[in-house]
């Protein structure tokens, strides 16, 4: 076959293919598309042809396994031997002898946890271990309001707030908290612990910077850990060290891309009991252009003329704090938590905060209880005054009169944290375990004399802290929670019992 014959044959074949293709439905449309595409953009036609050929090649390619079978095949005897040798890790840490002894002696209360509670054995004791500051557990008006709400709304919405869990009482509680604090908006969560641990990662992400007090509570630490942000710790309540850390962060980030930067601290520290110096922190926040997240879990409902927290107590404009986070389950005796701030801060959390998006909404009766308690704080100042008088009464019995312990709490804090004095710890060479054992004996001695107190439980070290940065550790202590449900005489008597129990245990251990 010469060249002319081959050319003629090729023309006939192409003509036959074209004839057959034109018989296919839609072929004319396809040809017009190709012609117009080639005329307008020939490069696009080439790319589309390449993608078409790649798709055909991919569909016609043989299947293959992505798992390489490079493991050694074991016999049944070898498998049985390995199974017998394998020891699973325990689901929980094995209890120490001290923990087992504590659990065996743990008191069990029967009925409400009021200022005078009844043990399972029938004995009535003075309860200064529960955070029932305003004796709201015994408030009959609150009980009746909660029962009415329960009959109207049921036990709980059984759905997340963003789906069908939000009810009118939730919106009212949010408005009441915002009005009480003086912020433009507020969002409520179903659980107090998960509030701050969701708020932090909702705003601070990987690459952002968090500067936090070394003594912040465990919920804050979990939020910081979840955020995966860069963490810088400063010494507890040390404004000078905070300024040093902020200055270092600003210099370090000067030539790097701009990131979000936060200062995280507490109003009343859960593990120490002392109070933050908010005006100075706000001043540093402005100077170094950081955002401030303030956890008022234990100061909201306690500090200030109406219980609005540390901002009211220290005369700081609440607008200077970017996020005010608090609990409705502690001093308020309801349930859940909240975050207050600007409307933009609040609306962002409705889609980005895990505990709000993926948890069932707060039960309606708890939301109603929170609103009622806030109204009581605004109209009945005697509640706050009576608690503060009992705090002073208990202080007079314990801190200046005990040779063994001192109180690390602020004078306004109804939770008194009593720790062994440094000279006592040094003289007796007590480690953390030794201090905990002594404190537990004090708790047992108080209970034997009709007063229930509790211990400050230990917590992990700072997350991601280098060895040189872990200088602060939680010192074990006793927790004494004051309440207006006790008279001044009853408070004095409880203080005397606690002081004598401490003295008896320490003299016995000489």
Provide the CB-side half-sphere exposure for 454 (13 A, CA): 15
Phi (first) and psi of residue 308, to 5 degrees: -80, -5
pLDDT at 184: 95
pLDDT at 65: 60
Band of pLDDT at residue 9, cut at 50, 70 and 90: confident
Over 90: is that where the pLDDT of 42 sits? no
CB atoms within 10 A of CB 190: 24
Read off the DSSP letter of residue 462: P
Contact residues for 225 (Cβ-Cβ < 8 A; gap 6+): 463, 464
Q: Between residues 89 and 263, which one has the greater pLDDT?
A: 263
Cα angle value 414/442/477 (rounded, 5°): 50
Over 80: is that where the pLDDT of 153 sits? yes
pLDDT at 481: 95
Contact residues for 373 (Cβ-Cβ < 8 A; gap 6+): 134, 136, 142, 301, 332, 333, 334
Over 80: is that where the pLDDT of 31 sits? no
Q: Which of 65-69, 100-104, 391-395 has the highest mean pLDDT?
A: 391-395
pLDDT at 45: 73
Question: For residue range 481-496, what is the model confidence (pLDDT) as tens digits?
Answer: 999 999 999 999 999 9
Q: Residue 212 forms beta bridges with which residues?
A: 233, 264
**C-alpha of 144 from chain center:** 31
Q: Region 85-114: what's the mean pLDDT?
A: 84
Strand 261-266 relative to strand 209-213, pairing: parallel
The rounded distance, in Å, linking the Cα atoms of 390 and 381 is: 15
Over 80: is that where the pLDDT of 401 sits? yes
Q: Region 429-436: what's the mean pLDDT?
A: 90
Which of 298, 149, 288, 274 has its CA nearest to residue 219?
Answer: 298
Q: Are 259 and 211 in contact (CB under 8 A)?
A: no
The rounded distance, in Å, linking the Cα atoms of 325 and 139 is: 26
Q: Between residues 473 and 129, which one has the greater pLDDT?
A: 129
Choose the weakest-confidence range: 114-118, 123-127, 331-335, 465-469. Answer: 465-469
Provide the CB-side half-sphere exposure for 460 (13 A, CA): 10
Q: Between residues 464 and 81, which one has the greater pLDDT?
A: 81
Compute the mean pLDDT over every residue in the chain, rounded to the nearest whole number: 89
Residue spans of beta strands (DSSP E) within 195-273: 209-213, 230-234, 261-266
Q: Residue 125 forms beta bridges with which residues?
A: 117
pLDDT at 124: 94
Question: For residue range 224-256, what is the model confidence (pLDDT) as tens digits?
Answer: 999 999 999 999 999 999 999 999 999 998 888
The rounded distance, in Å, linking the Cα atoms of 216 and 256 is: 28
Over 90: is that where the pLDDT of 448 sits? yes
Residue bearing tokens 């109204």: 375
The rounded distance, in Å, linking the Cα atoms of 324 and 312 is: 12
Sign of CA dihedral 496, 498, 504, 510: negative
Burial label, 391 (beta-carbon count in 10 A; 0-12, 13-18, 19+)? buried
Strand 109-110 relative to strand 405-407, pairing: unpaired
Phi (first) and psi of residue 264, to 5 degrees: -120, 125
Read off the DSSP letter of residue 467: G
The DSSP secondary structure of 291-336, one letter per residue, reads EEEEE-TTTTTTSSSSS--HHHHTT--GGGSSEEEEESSSTT-S--
The rounded distance, in Å, linking the Cα atoms of 317 and 91 is: 47
Over 70: is that where the pLDDT of 472 sits? no
- Express as a percent the part of the chain with pLDDT over 90: 67
Phi (first) and psi of residue 117, to 5 degrees: -110, 160
pLDDT at 502: 95
Strand 209-213 relative to strand 451-452, pairing: unpaired
pLDDT at 39: 64
Residue spans of beta strands (DSSP E) within 166-318: 185-189, 209-213, 230-234, 261-266, 291-295
Over 70: is that where the pLDDT of 285 sits? yes
The rounded distance, in Å, linking the Cα atoms of 469 and 453 is: 33
The rounded distance, in Å, linking the Cα atoms of 463 and 219 is: 12
Read off the DSSP letter of residue 73: P
pLDDT at 70: 61
Alpha-carbon separation of residue 151 from 146, 168, 364, 365 (angstroms): 9, 15, 10, 9
Q: Are 384 and 413 in contact (CB under 8 A)?
A: no
CB atoms within 10 A of CB 180: 23
Question: For residue range 301-339, what is the model confidence (pLDDT) as tens digits?
Answer: 999 999 999 999 999 999 999 999 999 998 999 999 999
């Amino acid at each position: 076959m010469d060249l002319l014959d081959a050319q003629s044959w090729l023309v006939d074949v192409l003509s036959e293919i074209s004839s057959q293709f034109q018989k296919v439905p839609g072929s004319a449309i396809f040809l017009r598309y190709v012609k117009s595409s080639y005329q307008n953009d020939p490069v696009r036609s080439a790319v589309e042809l390449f993608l078409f050929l790649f798709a055909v090649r991919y569909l016609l390619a043989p299947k293959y396994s992505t798992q390489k079978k490079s493991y050694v095949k074991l016999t049944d005897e070898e498998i049985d031997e390995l199974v017998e040798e394998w020891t699973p890790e325990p689901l929980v840490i094995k209890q120490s002898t001290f923990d087992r002894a504590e659990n065996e002696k743990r008191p069990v209360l029967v009925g409400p946890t009021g200022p005078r509670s009844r043990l399972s054995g029938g004995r009535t004791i003075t309860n200064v271990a529960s955070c029932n500051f305003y004796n709201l557990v015994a408030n009959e008006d609150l009980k009746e309001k909660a029962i009415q709400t329960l009959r109207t709304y049921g036990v709980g919405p059984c759905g997340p707030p963003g789906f069908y869990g939000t009810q009118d009482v939730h919106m009212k509680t949010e408005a009441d908290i915002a009005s009480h604090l003086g912020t433009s908006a507020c969002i409520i969560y179903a659980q107090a612990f998960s509030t701050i641990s969701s708020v932090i990662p909702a705003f601070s992400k990987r690459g952002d910077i968090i500067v936090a007090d070394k003594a912040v509570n465990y919920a804050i630490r979990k939020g910081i850990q979840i955020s995966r942000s860069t963490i810088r710790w400063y010494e507890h309540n040390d404004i000078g060290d905070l300024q040093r850390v902020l200055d270092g962060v600003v210099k370090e980030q000067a030539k790097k891309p701009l990131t979000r930067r936060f200062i995280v601290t507490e109003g009343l520290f859960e593990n120490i009991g002392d109070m933050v110096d908010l005006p100075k922190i706000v001043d540093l926040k402005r100077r170094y252009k950081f955002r401030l997240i303030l956890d008022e879990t234990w100061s909201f409902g306690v500090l200030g003329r109406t219980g609005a927290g540390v901002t009211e107590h220290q005369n700081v404009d609440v607008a200077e704090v970017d996020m005010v986070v608090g609990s409705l389950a502690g001093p308020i005796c309801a349930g859940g938590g909240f975050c207050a701030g600007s409307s933009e801060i609040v609306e962002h959390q409705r889609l980005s905060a895990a505990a709000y998006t993926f948890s069932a909404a707060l039960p309606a009766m708890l939301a109603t209880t929170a609103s009622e308690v806030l109204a009581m704080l605004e109209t009945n100042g005697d509640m706050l005054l009576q608690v503060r008088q009992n705090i002073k009464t208990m202080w007079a019995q314990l801190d200046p009169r005990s040779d063994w312990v001192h109180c690390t709490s602020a004078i306004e804090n109804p939770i008194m944290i009593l720790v062994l004095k440094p000279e006592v710890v040094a003289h007796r060479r007590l480690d953390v375990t030794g201090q905990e054992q002594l404190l537990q004996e004090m708790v047992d001695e108080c209970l034997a004399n009709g007063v229930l107190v509790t211990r400050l439980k230990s917590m992990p070290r700072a997350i991601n802290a280098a060895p040189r940065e872990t200088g602060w550790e939680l010192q074990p202590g006793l927790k004494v929670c004051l309440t207006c449900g006790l008279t001044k005489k009853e408070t004095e008597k409880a203080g005397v019992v606690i002081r004598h129990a401490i003295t008896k245990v320490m003299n016995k251990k000489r």
